[in-house]
Amino acid sequence: MVRPHHRMFPGILSNIAMAAMLLLAAFSPLACSSGTAKPAAKSSELLDSIRQNKSINVSLSAMMTFNEHGKNVTASREFSMKGVPIIWGDTSLNDTTFSGKMYDADRHIIDSVHGIVTSDGKWLEHVTFWREITEGATDGTFDITLGPISIVDITGGNVTRVGICEETGDVRKHVMQIDYLPEGVRYVSTDWENVVQPPVLKVRFDK
């Protein structure tokens, strides 16, 4: 009696070998690196344009009330920094940072700034600017944080201005913190609703 040939065994062995090869490939270093590597962060054209700037101007002006040695005094005040040179940090998947400092020997003051721009280049997530005084300075020290602020104007689908914000009136939503530091003087409040002399906020990056 002739026994039939069992052709199933070569097929099974072939399948086992194929499975082993696939398993080996799945756990090989090449497969791991190609499957888990994250693409490098790419800057938007708007962010690239803003990063070309080398300095920043920031100002906040409004009718403000301060308690000066126990007495409330209301007057028009402006806190500003002009032409502070900045250095840009690395761009991550979410944002990019910048910081700068400028020393004015004639006025004996040090102006500093630090901020974050979103990765799409459209928003200044926040910017903090503060003033320090050295011996003999007559300027008051302050520490102010603003944000978020739109720094791109888009009209009719076209970008018309990049790296600039100028708002009058409705700026309260952008002011996160105001600290006024001279001894004996304390910040009390701001008249955000003043229509005769409305508050003004300006941010401008310059080359």
pLDDT digits (tens, 9 = 90+) for 124-183: 999 999 999 877 666 679 999 999 999 999 888 788 889 999 999 999 999 999 998 887
Helix (H, G, I), strand (E, B) or coil at 164: strand
Instruction: State yes or no: pLDDT of 84 exceeds 60.
Output: yes
pTM of the model: 0.75
The region that residue 38 occupies, defined by phi over 0 for left and psi between -120 and 50 for alpha, beta otherwise, is beta
The reported pLDDT for the residue numbered 157 is 79
User: What's the mean per-residue pLDDT of the chain?
Assistant: 81
Q: CB within 8 A of 88, min separation 6: which ones? A: 51, 96, 97, 98
Cβ neighbourhood burial of 91 (10 Å; 0-12, 13-18, 19+): buried
- Which position has the higher pLDDT, 119 or 22? 119
Please, what's the largest Cα pairwise distance for the chain? 120
Nearest-Å Rg of the Cα atoms of the chain is 30
Mean pLDDT for the stretch of residues 185-190: 93
Residue type, 9: F
d(C-alpha 54, C-alpha 56), whole Å: 7
Structural contact between residues 22 and 31, judged by C-beta atoms closer than 8 angstroms: no
Structural contact between residues 63 and 197, judged by C-beta atoms closer than 8 angstroms: yes
